[in-house]
Chain A
Amino acid sequence: MPIPLTVLETRREARDDRGPAAPPTEDVREKVFELEAAGEWLVQRVPDPWIGVTTKYGRTKKIPVARTWHHKSCGQCGHIPGYSTSIFWLIRKLGLDYNDPRDQTSCTAWNYYASATSNQGAQAAVAMRNFGAAYESGYFPMIHCGTSYGHYKEVREELVHSAELRDEVRRICDKLGKPFVMPEEIVHYSEWVYALRDEFAKRRVLDLSGIDVTVHPACHYHKLVVEDAIYDPDVYGGQRTAVVSAVVTALGANVKDYSTWFDCCGFGFRHILVQRDFTRSFATLRKIEVMQEEANPDVVLTHDTGCVTTLDQSQFAARAHDRKVGVPVMSEAQFAALAMGAHPYRVAQLHWHNTEYRPLLEKMGIDWRERWREFEDDLARLKGDPKAFLTWEDADA
């Protein structure tokens, strides 16, 4: 019997012949609108223009292009500030309107996932308080943190299915003086990057064809409320979430596969708090070393705070044990910004990263020595005025 060389293509064609299967899960967004019709809450519409993307079971999700309210990540701001700065830099490069609020509340999901502290009502109230703040601003919420994003989607499910919880949280929002609003979509920033990847590619100034990338999909992006994550037939045959990987390809770099892609980065929430050595071992032995052995990447890209931090900073300890580590880690937003000419220190702020990244910059064609000299000049200037800080004008100077 001859072996078909196109066995996977044949399977995919046969799949098309079978016709679309009904999604196995309900579309919670329909319920969100039904509750609005019943007077239970307001629904904040995705503002025009938006881009339609395809989620796991073939549904369309609306991704707002502009007028976004940025729900930042505690860990990004605290550990890797170049992450959120790069997101804002990308938005500004496209000339889009956005809102960087100063009254955002932490989602508290880390406590919830790590140790089950807090309670259902408090968790949901924080989510609705933030959604209310976004609605009041007239901008649409966009979540930077993968955990906040996944958690808010779980909260949405709970609120949709529990009238008692809605009543409890509505009373809390009333006390806070916040409107009781559910957004039409819950959007992660990496979905926005995915939706606009071709716009970034048009503005790319570096040749990335020699850059090999391994991608770590964030668990709280694609494993919580799985049906809402983006999938694309052109990315691993639609079998893995397409965010990040599709961006890498659009920018002209090379996605490299490795066998432990589905594994957690090691953060683990509970582990990072109570078994940090487990986190470090997992991140380096199960992720970084496997990537090194199987794909030998120039950089690891991911799309969540904890993943960047864990994969990057765990390599420090493993290096002391002579493990095969030493791969720089950053978000796809930082990588896209660098590709478009962003300053590696003023914008991407790679000096906050732990693993050696300068060989990568050289391979990307970035003169990191000159950029560092510029940054040191900035620092010298800022030292003279304790109240001064770098501005967007500085970033693009």
Chain B
Amino acid sequence: MPETVLVIGGGPAGLEAARAIASIGGRALLVERRDVLGGTPDESNYAALTPRMGSAQEALDALRAGVEDPAIDVRRSTTVSACSGSVGDFRVTLSGPTGETTESVGAIVVATGFQHFDPGRETQMYGYYEYPDVITLPDAEKMLKDHRFVRPSTGEPPRNVAFIQCVGSRDRRLGNEYCSKVCCGVASKEAIEIRRLLPDTKVYIFYIDMRMYGFWENEIYWPAQEQHNVNYIRGIVTEIVGKDGRLLMKGEDTTMGRPLEVLMDVIVLSVGMEPSRGTRDVAQILGVDQNKYGFIALPGEPMDVVTTSVPGIFVAGAAAGPKDLEDTVGMAGAAALRAVGTVRGLAHAGTVAAR
């Protein structure tokens, strides 16, 4: 019986799951579709992590170092293309740079993550594909990583910047009724970074209501207002149009009950989380149930947050829904433990039966 656990996805969840598997004496086969490890935080150029502003690169380096272990077989530029068998004896086909191989594994951890909401699906509201100065949180993150924040159309620093919250989240019309959990904190963090870089720039955050979970309230939300003069405006933005080379933002100030029309230089869309293409594809290949949004379903919630509908297949991180990094690495440890425990439990049962 193979004791190896297949970990699909080389982002924070997959890296931590593989490290945890090795740390308790198991063997991991880690596959990642890209040629570098790090997942979305790497691919989307995360700069500083919310809420404590620690370096994302340093955090990822630490996770990458964790999989430099003889018990972990890392396959980059590799995807799972087929799967058969069942718990204790899955046979998976991997497609990589040298072609296809078939591997036997005892359990699987899915860590295929999320992708940022495509603001183009909010057609005609935000103009992401029409105006270069309408950007997303990851676009802003990429600039902040280089310690520069400018209008993409001109290269000049903006005078006014607005963040729009809940783009693609909490939206019944789009079918994404869920909160993506991290966007309020990340937007506030980026707002602080912009104010630090450009003290003369006014920064506004337009929100439905701010959702600052746990300690983020005190670590991000109040400092943004009290120390960095970020303006929070409760309002609904309905439309962005170009006007005189700037961006005219229209909507309603829901506190004042009045329409608003303000000119901005850069508008940052706080895009939420959706299941990644990898999550959708892997769910199909493995035959695990997905919830109505396409994330991997967790039939044992709330007390079991890693077991999928298929015995022997577990999930970690944002493949199962919106997660912050703390939840992600916590799930990864739990999934690793369940996967190794499953394989060993079957092996032990087999040994007992053979006696």
Contact = CB atoms under 8 A, between A and B. Distances in A.
Nearest to A11: B129
Nearest to B132: A7
Nearest to A229: B123
A231 interface: yes
Interface string A254-271: 000101111000000000
A78 interface: no
A24 B173 CA distance: 8
A389 interface: no
B174 interface: yes
Interface string A8-32: 1001100100110110110000000
Nearest to B155: A3
Interface in A220-264: 222, 231, 236-240, 257, 259-262
Contacts of A38: none
Contact of B146 (A1, A19, A231): A1
Contact of A260 (B241, B277, B294): B241
A239 B127 contact: yes
Contact of A24 (B121, B132, B148, B277): B121
Contacts of A12: 129
Contacts of A11: 128-129
Nearest to B274: A21
Tell me the dominant secondary structure on chain A's binding face: loop
A56 B121 CA distance: 9
B124 interface: yes
Contact of B241 (A7, A8, A25, A262): A262
Contact of A238 (B120, B153, B248): B120
B124 A238 contact: no
B120 A15 contact: yes
Main DSSP-derived SS at the B contact region: loop
B243 A239 contact: no
Contacts of A15: 118, 120, 129
A39 interface: no
Interface string B142-158: 01001010101111000
A238 B129 contact: yes
A18 B176 contact: no
A95 interface: no
A3 to B, nearest CB: 4
A237 B132 CA distance: 13
A386 interface: no
B242 interface: yes
Nearest to B293: A22
B174 to A, nearest CB: 4
B236 to A, nearest CB: 15
B200 interface: no
A19 B120 CA distance: 13
Interface of B: 115, 118, 120-121, 123-124, 127-130, 132, 143, 146, 148, 150, 152-155, 173-176, 239, 241-243, 248, 274, 277, 294
Given A12-B129, A15-B129, A259-B248, 6 more contacts: A3-B150, A22-B294, A25-B175, A238-B129, A239-B123, A294-B243
10 contacts: A1-B143, A1-B148, A7-B153, A15-B120, A57-B121, A222-B124, A238-B120, A239-B123, A239-B129, A257-B242
